[in-house]
Amino acid sequence: MSDATVESFLDRTLRNLRGAWEEVSVSTRHYWTGAPRPDLPTDDLEKIRGQMADCLSDKGGEVTARVRAADLGRSYLSLNQTGRHRFLGLLATEFGADHAAVDMAIGRLREAKDEESRRRAERALRAALVPRWRTLLRRFTALPEGVKFLVDLRAELIPFARETPELADLDGDLKDLLGAWFDIGLLELKRITWDAPASLLEKLIAYEAVHAIRSWEDLKNRLDSDRRCFAFIHPNMPDEPLIFVEVALVNGMSDNVQMLLDEEAPSSDPKNADAAIFYSISNAQRGLAGISFGNFLIKRVVDVLKHELPNLKTFATLSPIPGYRRWLNDRIETGEVPALTSSERKALVQAMELGNDATDVDLIRGGLGVDGWWDDDVLSEALKGPLMRGAAHYLSNEKRRSGGAGDPVAHFHLSNGARMERLNWLGDRSANGFRQSCGMMINYLYRLAEIDDNHEAYTDDGRIAQSSQIRGLAKS
């Protein structure tokens, strides 16, 4: 939602809420509703502080309090980045929990003699620890599209909180609030077709994060009869997908994404397909970062598809390996590339007209440095071995701090119980494909009978389920 849209909805809201009450509210409110200057200089910050305090008060009743929250929301939207950062800083530092009240409650808790007074004291302490900003955040929900306003607010807050530790609690608290509203149990799984509203479909175009949607025709092709697209949607934000997945219904496990996305390819009868390939999963709301939907999404979609198309036997992804190239570059820097076989050496030496004394690192760096190496049959053939082994090694052995797989996409699917099934050489021939993954793609396979075991082995012991192809490549 652009600021313009938000502003228009806040205006609308104010009209709605005030409506008949206009006369009244004018007479009884004394708080400041002027527009602050965009970067919120000290004077205006002072006034906003008063406005925030007003919003926390119950003066005039709950309805009037919500009108004040709308005014405050409008002030926020009129600010530039600097102003918003200051606005949120003010909220975070001055409208947190009341330290004195916390200390007093702690005192009482320590004196509690019996279970009942302990309980009472804990209750009081819990209440004292609730930051005051929470009341204010919750008041925004009464606005039409107020939930979306908070989601967008958090999208802005996250980068600020990285710079400013004081904002971390506000961010954490807002995340909890959003996490409760966007609980998986409150979401609807919706199939999205070409019959969906254009206002919803344009968001798929905007939010697609894996393989950019180039045009409405490209989008239409992805919603064709042998494709499926599913999204989780919250009933209060019916036009906003939270996360969506694109699926191709094909025969056999796909090994190339350009073939999947080819608009010219004829569509086939989905009833004859034996494989459902998940080729793109995109989170659509930055403001919901850290609230997880993806694992539910894949499992629900598998269920839905199995029911609709009983012929489907294979459920797998066709996924990028987004961290591979950067990892490989780092290895090249430090000289730790996979060893070349003698025939690979020979081919590379010839292809690049280098001397026999060129190191493996030189040869690989050199090969990758050739513009369009993938279109050179000899070069491409010579690089295939080391790059595939390197990718298998990267996927299998590179770890994140918490112990899981270093590659983010790998970590996501392994956590869900999938296994690494097949590396696909030149599976993504787009510029981005080469930049991230040296043109490689991987299939993660969701085999129903193994999902729970895979999940536990991975989560508890860091063990990664893999096919023999990948295990073999990684070892060599």
Concatenated DSSP letters of 89-129: HHHHHHSS--HHHHHHHHHHHHH--SHHHHHHHHHHHHHHH
Which of 110, 114, 353, 402 touches a copy of itself by CB under 8 A? 110
Q: At what angle do helices 324-334 and 360-369 cross, to 10 degrees?
A: 140
- Which listed residue (75, 254, 282, 319) is catalytic? 319
Which of 135, 268, 283, 292 touches a copy of itself by CB under 8 A? 292
Of the pair 124, 370, the CB lying nearest a copy of itself is at: 124
Task: Give least dist CB 81 to a copy of itself, A.
Answer: 23
- Measured CA angle at 155 (ends 43, 148), to 5 deg: 95
Which of 24, 209, 212, 265 touches a copy of itself by CB under 8 A? 24
118 binds a copy of itself (CB under 8 A): yes
Which of 190, 191, 286, 306 touches a copy of itself by CB under 8 A? 306
Of the pair 113, 342, the CB lying nearest a copy of itself is at: 113
374 binds a copy of itself (CB under 8 A): no
Mark whether 319 is an active-site residue.
Answer: yes
320 exposure class (CB count in 10 Å sphere: 0-12, 13-18, 19+): buried
125 binds a copy of itself (CB under 8 A): yes
376 binds a copy of itself (CB under 8 A): no
Edge-to-edge strand ranges of the sheet holding 241-250: 188-191, 227-233, 241-250, 275-283, 314-317, 441-445, 419-424
Task: Give least dist CB 106 to a copy of itself, A.
Answer: 6
Which of 91, 153, 302, 328 touches a copy of itself by CB under 8 A? 302
Instruction: Choose the binding region for a copy of itself from 22-30, 350-358, 385-393, 428-436 (rule: CB under 8 A).
Output: 22-30
Round to whole Å and give the CA distance between 366 and 233. 48
Count of C-beta atoms within a 10 Å radius of residue 30: 8
Q: Which residues in 234-273 contact a copy of itself (CB under 8 A)? A: 235-236, 239
Which of 12, 190, 220, 331 touches a copy of itself by CB under 8 A? 220
Q: Which residues in 388-447 contact a copy of itself (CB under 8 A)? A: 415-417
Task: Give least dist CB 307 to a copy of itself, A.
Answer: 8
Round to whole Å and give the CA distance between 453 and 78. 52
Q: How many residues bind a copy of itself (CB under 8 A)?
A: 83
Do 280 and 246 meet the contact criterion of CB atoms below 8 Å apart? yes
**Nearest-10 Cα torsion for 286, 290, 293, 294:** 90
Round to whole Å and give the CA distance between 306 and 285. 28
- Residues whose CB is less than 8 angstroms from the CB of residue 173 and which lie 6 or more positions away in sequence, other chains included: 131, 133, 134, 137
Do 323 and 407 meet the contact criterion of CB atoms below 8 Å apart? yes
The token pair at 116 is 């009942």
Mark whether 411 is an active-site residue.
Answer: no
Task: Give least dist CB 92 to a copy of itself, A.
Answer: 10
Task: Give least dist CB 255 to a copy of itself, A.
Answer: 25
296 exposure class (CB count in 10 Å sphere: 0-12, 13-18, 19+): middle
353 binds a copy of itself (CB under 8 A): no
Instruction: Choose the binding region for a copy of itself from 118-126, 351-359, 379-387, 388-396 (rule: CB under 8 A).
Output: 118-126
Q: Which residues in 137-166 contact a copy of itself (CB under 8 A)? A: 138, 140-143, 146-147, 165-166
Site string for a copy of itself, 49-68 (x = CB under 8 A): ---------xxxxxxx----
**Nearest-10 Cα torsion for 257, 422, 376, 383:** 150
Which of 35, 123, 159, 330 touches a copy of itself by CB under 8 A? 123
- Which listed residue (85, 211, 393, 413) is catalytic? 413
CB burial of 402-435 (b: ≥16 within 10 Å; e: otherwise) equals eebbbbebbbbbbbbbbbbbbbbbbbbeeeebbe
Q: What residues are labeled active site?
A: 319, 413
